[in-house]
């Protein structure tokens, strides 16, 4: 029945798109051909949610869909001020104040907020912070005794809590000084520690309602925090439901009922937005932006370039798995069609991607020249690996021997796709066409979002080329580079394992001077991406694709939307 509903929505959307302009879309809604959902009986906000969450346990969360579910329910000691664009300063949450001790910035104490209740009615205090960080450090394997089994495995983002040597834990000790005061001692100075505490894995859940040494089950477990909404339920491919926390320590939200309507089918989800069946849309189709923009029923906010970095990841290889060597990576990146992605797939709603560090983030290296489409350069590199097979072929494109190149089958590479992503599908189709120009065949593997993450984390050799994005966990360029290229990181799907890079990460993490730290970040970007410098074994692990020009689409009646570059969905401030 659900499949029939989705197919019908796609058919209706196709008819709507075939109409001769925005007026016909709106007339279809007004005439009743597209049925608009009636108002809810209670104050309700419905989010057109693009992806099923992968987890509801903060310590195993390293994806935006899961983070945004948890963000409504749980809180950290500190957080970012999402209403303060573009500064996003750190503000108190469950802590009210903090103080660094010593000249080395390796010890910090927090005064905790009083009179805060968890959703289960228990009172928050220092013991809860200690319990949560015991749990965090356990799943980060600080003890060295964590057993990998069905309920207790290494937390997905655990590498965030280790220095880049993957041997030294960032947090050396923590203890309470009283009912509402805790202190953290670091193994050595870690410049972005306060930023690290804004990340969801360090947020606080109720010890009375949560498993301590096993993970919260995604389908049967309960997420209990102190946030503005209470978690109710999750049903895969259907919805995530919350209700208002009337005992919230801050200003209670307007919405009594909050629903994340999960629909991974891009056209069908956009159809729901056109029909006003949802109040807020994730993932507006670029070809519909003009329609939304001219509709009196919708609001479009073109917010500007965001902080998320999207890229093709190329598996570099490891012991027992050959991967794509640096010559292959460079050649195939030359063969990718970046203009097509930006102008055709995204209709100009994105700009060419940075070398990992966003343009708006301190430490971005604007001087790095990244690879651009050049079929002749790709053919030249491939011919250097296959001199016999390419003998007599014109390396220029377009050349005199195009049929000869098309007839070649020098290698078959795997392209991966996230199920339901029309964008990913179109990218893979285009890559198949472009790679054929350099004698390379492709095949596609389709996975659900959870499978996609699990494969990249645990079996990256099974994802030869994949499309993925990275949004910062916290606002320091260290977090755009170390998780993606540190050999201890689960998000290093490319499997970069470069001792020199490790030393640079270690230097950056201990450098208290922001400008000197940013110089290290800029050097890392040049080392990995700069096309005019000599190749080395670990160069070109990513092909930067785009940075989004953030565009928000929601009902014209929805107010209080906190547009931000952090990719955080702030539902507590929304009202109708």
pLDDT at 549: 86
pLDDT at 1: 30
Other beta carbons within 10 Å of 101: 12
DSSP 116-185: -B-TTSPBP-HHHHHHHHHHHHHHTTSSS----SSS----TTGGGGB-TTSSSBSEEEEEEEETTEEEEE
Q: What is the mean pLDDT of the chain?
A: 91
- Cα 499 to Cα 145, 496, 506, 519, 537: the distances in Å are 26, 10, 11, 19, 12
Going by pLDDT thresholds of 50, 70 and 90, the confidence category of residue 38 is low
190, 196 contact by CB (below 8 A): yes
Among the residue ranges 24-28, 55-59, 500-504, 558-562, the one predicted with the least confidence is: 24-28
Going by pLDDT thresholds of 50, 70 and 90, the confidence category of residue 6 is very low
pLDDT tens digits, 209-251: 999 999 999 999 999 999 999 999 999 999 999 999 999 999 9
Question: What structural domains does the chain harbor?
Answer: 1-52+236-297+556-576 (3.40.190.10), 53-216 (3.90.76.10), 309-548 (3.10.105.10)
Going by pLDDT thresholds of 50, 70 and 90, the confidence category of residue 35 is low
pLDDT at 512: 84
- pLDDT (mean) for 297-310: 93
Higher pLDDT among residues 318 and 142, named by residue: 142
Q: Is the pLDDT of residue 12 over 80?
A: no
CA atoms within 13 A on the CB side of 234: 24
**Percent of the chain residues topping a pLDDT of 70:** 93
- pLDDT (mean) for 435-456: 93
- pLDDT (mean) for 141-151: 89
pLDDT at 36: 56
* Most confident among 85-89, 147-151, 518-522 (mean pLDDT): 518-522
pLDDT at 368: 98
DSSP 279-333: SEESS--GGGHHHHHH-TTEEEEEEEE-S-EEEEEE---BTTB----HHHHHHHH
Q: Is the pLDDT of residue 282 over 70?
A: yes
Q: Is the pLDDT of residue 3 over 60?
A: no
pLDDT at 540: 98
């Amino acid at each position: 029945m659900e499949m029939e509903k989705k197919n019908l929505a796609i058919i209706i959307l196709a008819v709507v798109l075939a109409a001769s302009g925005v007026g016909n879309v709106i007339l279809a809604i007004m005439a009743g051909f597209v049925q608009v959902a009636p108002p809810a009986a209670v104050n309700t906000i419905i989010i057109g949610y693009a992806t099923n969450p992968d987890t509801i346990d903060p310590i195993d969360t390293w994806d935006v869909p899961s983070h945004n579910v948890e963000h409504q329910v749980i809180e950290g000691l500190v957080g970012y001020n999402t209403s303060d664009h573009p500064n996003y300063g750190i503000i108190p949450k469950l802590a009210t104040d903090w103080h660094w001790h010593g000249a080395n910035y390796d010890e910090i104490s927090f005064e905790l907020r009083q009179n805060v209740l968890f959703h289960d009615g228990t009172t928050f205090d220092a013991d809860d912070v200690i319990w949560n960080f015991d749990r965090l450090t356990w799943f980060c394997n600080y003890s060295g005794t964590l057993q990998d089994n069905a309920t207790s495995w290494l937390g997905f983002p655990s590498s965030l809590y280790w220095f880049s040597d993957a041997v030294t834990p960032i947090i050396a000790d923590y203890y309470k000084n009283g009912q509402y005061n805790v202190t953290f001692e670091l193994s050595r100075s870690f410049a972005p520690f306060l930023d690290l505490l804004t990340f969801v894995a360090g947020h606080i859940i109720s010890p009375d309602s949560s498993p301590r040494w096993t993970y919260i089950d995604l389908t049967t477990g309960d997420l209990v925090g102190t946030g503005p909404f209470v978690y109710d339920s999750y049903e895969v491919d259907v919805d995530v439901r919350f209700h208002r926390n009337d005992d919230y320590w801050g200003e209670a939200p307007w919405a009594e009922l909050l629903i994340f309507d999960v629909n991974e089918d891009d056209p069908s989800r956009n159809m729901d937005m056109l029909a006003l069946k949802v109040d807020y849309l994730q993932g507006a189709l670029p070809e519909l932006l003009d329609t939304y923009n001219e509709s009196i029923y919708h609001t479009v906010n073109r917010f500007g370039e965001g902080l998320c970095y999207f890229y093709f990841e190329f598996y570099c290889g490891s012991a027992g798995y050959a991967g794509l060597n640096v010559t292959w990576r460079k050649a195939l990146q030359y063969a990718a069609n970046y203009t097509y992605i930006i102008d055709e797939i995204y209709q100009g709603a994105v700009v060419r991607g940075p070398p990992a560090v966003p343009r708006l983030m301190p430490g971005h290296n604007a001087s790095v020249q990244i690879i651009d489409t050049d079929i002749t350069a790709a053919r030249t590199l491939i011919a250097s690996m296959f001199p016999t097979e390419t003998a007599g072929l014109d390396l220029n494109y377009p050349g005199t021997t195009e049929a000869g190149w098309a007839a070649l089958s020098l290698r078959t590479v795997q392209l991966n796709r996230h199920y339901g992503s029309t964008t990913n599908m179109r990218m893979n189709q285009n890559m198949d066409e472009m790679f054929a120009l350099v004698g390379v065949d492709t095949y596609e593997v389709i996975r659900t979002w959870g499978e996609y993450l699990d494969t990249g984390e645990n079996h990256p050799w099974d994802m030869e080329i994949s499309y993925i994005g990275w949004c910062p966990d916290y606002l320091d360029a260290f977090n755009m580079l170390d998780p993606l290229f540190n050999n201890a990181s689960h998000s290093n799907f490319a499997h970069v394992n470069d001792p020199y890079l490790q030393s640079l990460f270690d230097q950056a993490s201990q450098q208290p001077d922001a400008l000197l730290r940013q110089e290290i970040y800029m050097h890392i970007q040049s080392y990995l991406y700069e096309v005019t410098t000599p190749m080395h074994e670990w160069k070109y692990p990513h092909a930067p694709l785009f940075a989004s020009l953030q565009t928000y689409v929601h009902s014209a009646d929805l107010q209080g939307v906190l547009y931000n570059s952090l990719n955080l969905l702030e539902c507590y401030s929304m009202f109708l």
